[in-house]
Amino acid sequence: MTEPVLELVEVVKSYGEVTVLHGVDLRVGPGELVAVVGPSGSGKSTLLHIMGTLERPSGGTVRIDGTDVARLGDRQVADVRARDIGFVFQQFFLAAHATAVENVADGMLYAGVPARARRRRAAEALDRVGLSHRARFKPSQLSGGERQRVAIARALVGRPAIVLADEPTGNLDSATGGAIVELLHELNADGATIIVITHDNDLAGKLPRQVHLLDGRIVRDSNAAALR
């Protein structure tokens, strides 16, 4: 593998007495599209939060684009997150008062992009997810699948090194979910590195690489070379 965009080495996460991740090793290269699968409670969301620097591990190392996150202060970690990571969540998390294009532009708020460029790039990103005709709609005027496409556009608009999606199809019917998976494939073909958390084995099977999590451990990785 070329230099990984994301590298976890022996990552442990404990909450008090409870250990949720027991030494996770994972390397994700540029341009990969990876599914992290596992049953409820296996630690998928915890892993995503650690990969996305939303939480710090209790032990082990997290490297984003070669940078050991533990060596950075909170402010610098927030900068890395704003620049290098895009998030998509099951509940969309769009601002209710803002239009679709404004929600997407918010994805660049902390990345130091001037306002005019933010608007132009937000419009382009909405076009990319097929929603130009809904740019001025507010989330309440959009369907669930459309909301998730707005959220995906927002995650991608800052051109992050990594997009992390936690159950992105969890609130959608299967046809709409399928369209979202197709969109993730297209964005990946355009070069985005994407990690999708899901408990849906069918969805995972459609992605090129599957990492299986069980009780806080990776028990199988279809890219064995990356599991050292």
Ligand X SMILES: Nc1ncnc2c1ncn2[C@@H]1O[C@H](COP(=O)(O)OP(=O)(O)OP(=O)(O)O)[C@@H](O)[C@H]1O
List residues binding Mg ion (CB under 5 A). 44-45
In angstroms, the CA 86 to CA 94 distance is: 14
Whichever of 14 and 67 has its CB closer to ligand X, that residue is: 14
Look at residue 178 and give its three-state secondary structure.
Answer: helix
Quick check: 46 binds ligand X (CB under 6 A)? yes
To which residue do tokens 């090129």 refer? Answer: 208
Which string of b and e fits 88-118 if b means at least 16 CB within 10 Å?
bbbebebeeeebbbbbbbbbbeeeebeeeeb
Q: Which window, 12-20, 113-121, 137-145, 174-182, contacts ligand X (CB under 6 A)? A: 12-20
Quick check: 40 binds ligand X (CB under 6 A)? yes
Closest approach, Cβ 44 to ligand X, in A, equals 3
Whichever of 157 and 203 has its CB closer to ligand X, that residue is: 203
DSSP state of 216: T
Which of the residues 15 through 34 are near ligand X (CB under 6 A)? 15, 18, 20
Question: Would you tell me which residues interact with ligand X (CB under 6 A)?
Answer: 15, 18, 20, 38, 40-46, 199
